[in-house]
Chains A and B, each alone.
Chain A
Amino acid sequence: MIARLLRQLAFVLVLALAPALVSGAWQLAWKKEEPLAPGEVRLATAREWGDKVQWVDARSRAKYERTHLPGALLLNEDEWDTLVKPFIDEWDSDKTLVVYCDGGTCDASHAVAARIRKELSIPDVYVLKGGFAEWEGK
C-alpha cells in the first residue's frame, strides 16, 4: 500500500517537474541579454570608448535638468528646433554620439538618433541599449 502510494507520489512529482523545467528554461532565456537592434550599443562597449563618446540625452528638459550622464547634451524632439543649434555648436565631430532615453519601452533615443543621421547627416550615432536605467544599474 505504502509502496504504491510512493510510486504515485513519484509519478506526480515527475509530472510536476516537466512544467517546472520548461518554466526554468524560459526564465533563464528571458534573463539572457537581449540582442542589439541595428544602431544600438551596450553600456559596457560605450564605456570602453571612453572620452570618444559624446552622450546625447533624448529625454525631456525636466529630466535632463534633474540628472544626466556626464557631459551629456540635451536634444529631444519636443524642442528640436530650439535645441539643435546649441547641440551643433557643442558637438565635436571627432566623437561618437550615443543617444539615450529612459530605457524600457521608451523610443525617444531611436527617434533622435534617426534624425541626427538623416537631418544632420552625422553617421557616427548609436543608441544606448537599456537607456538611462541601464546607466543607473536598474
Chain B
Amino acid sequence: MHFRLFVCLVALLLPTVPGRAQLKWDNPAQQFQRTPADEGIEAFYTFRNVGKLPVTITGLRASCGCTTPHLEKKTYAPGETGTVTARFVFGDRKGPQHKTIEVSTDEEGAPPVVLDLRVLIHDPLSIEPTLVYWKRGEPGEAKTMQLTAEAGQPVRIKNVISSNPRLPAKLVTVKAGESYVVSVKPADTAQKEVGEIFVLTDFPADAPRTYILQARVK
C-alpha cells in the first residue's frame, strides 16, 4: 500500500523537478579587448551533448540587436559537438560592453543557458563630457571637457577650433600627450547658440583623427 502511495507521490512531483542539462559548454563566458577600428568581433561557444538523448536547440536570443548568434544546425546527437557563433558589431560603442546570448533547448525542465560576451573597446582618447551647455539667461561661466589619453598610448592635441565665435574654445595642456582640458566660455547666454568644437590630434600618425565636441546655449 505504502509503495503504491509512494509511486503516486513521485508521479505527482516528478514534473516539478528540473532536468539536468545535457549540453556541456566549454567556455560560456568570454572576454576580449579591441579598438573601435576592429569594427566587430566573433566569439565561438563550443558545446557537447553529454546526455543519452538528442538535444534540439529551440532558440538563440541575444541581449542586443548588435549581436547576431548563429548555429550550424539545431539537433545534436549524444556525444556530438557544436558551436554557437556570436557576431558582435561595435557600431559607435566604446568602453566595457557586456552582451548575452540565451540558449533554449527542448530538454524538459532545463533552464536556458546564458552565454556571456564581454568586450572592452579601447579608444586611445577618452573625453568627458562631449557636450557643454547653458540655459538661456544662466551665468555664462566657462565649462570644461577633460581629454585623457590611454596609459602608454600618448595622443597629442594639436589644436581646438570652435565653429561659433560666440562659443570660443581654449585648449589647456595638463600633461602633453596625456591630459588636456578644453574650456568653452560663451560670449553671453542671451540667445540660443550652436557650436561644434573640433579637436585635432596627432593619432594615428598616418591619418590623424579629429574629435567633434558640442557646445550649446539652449
**Interface, chain A (partner B; CB < 8 A):** 8, 11-12, 15-16, 19, 23, 59-60, 76-82, 84-85, 88-89, 91-93, 105-108, 111, 118-122
- Bound Cα distance A77, B130 (Å): 15
A19 to chain B, nearest CB (A): 6
User: B residues within 8 A CB of A118?
Assistant: 128-129
- Bound Cα distance A88, B195 (Å): 11
4 further interface pairs, Cβ-Cβ under 8 Å (given A79-B91, A105-B63, A111-B93):
A15-B12, A59-B65, A89-B194, A105-B100
Contact of B16 with A119 in the complex, beta carbons under 8 Å: no
Contact of B129 with A106 in the complex, beta carbons under 8 Å: no
A68 to chain B, nearest CB (A): 15
User: Can you name 10 A-B pairs with beta carbons within 8 Å?
Assistant: A8-B1, A8-B5, A11-B5, A12-B5, A12-B12, A16-B12, A78-B91, A84-B130, A107-B99, A121-B131
Contact of B129 with A78 in the complex, beta carbons under 8 Å: no
- Bound Cα distance A84, B92 (Å): 11
Q: Does B9 contact A (CB under 8 A)?
A: yes
Q: A108 and B129 in contact (CB under 8 A), knowing A79-B91, A93-B218?
A: no
- Bound Cα distance A76, B8 (Å): 56
Contact of A88 with B13 in the complex, beta carbons under 8 Å: no
User: B residues within 8 A CB of A85?
Assistant: 196, 212, 214
**A contacts with B: majority SS:** helix
Contact of B130 with A119 in the complex, beta carbons under 8 Å: yes
Within residues 114 to 129 of chain B, which ones have a CB less than 8 A from any CB in chain A?
Answer: 127-129
Q: Does B174 contact A (CB under 8 A)?
A: no
Mask of B118-153 contacts with A, CB within 8 angstroms, 1/0: 000000000111111101000000000000000000
With CB as the reference atom, state the residue of chain B lying closest to A76. B91
Contact of B214 with A108 in the complex, beta carbons under 8 Å: no
Mask of B1-31 contacts with A, CB within 8 angstroms, 1/0: 1000100110011001000000000000000
Across the interface, B64 reaches (CB within 8 A) one of A84, A91, A107, namely: A107
User: A residues within 8 A CB of B98?
Assistant: 107
With CB as the reference atom, state the residue of chain A lying closest to B130. A119
Contact of B128 with A119 in the complex, beta carbons under 8 Å: yes
Contact of B65 with A108 in the complex, beta carbons under 8 Å: yes
Q: Does B66 contact A (CB under 8 A)?
A: yes
Contact of A88 with B131 in the complex, beta carbons under 8 Å: yes
With CB as the reference atom, state the residue of chain B lying closest to A89. B194
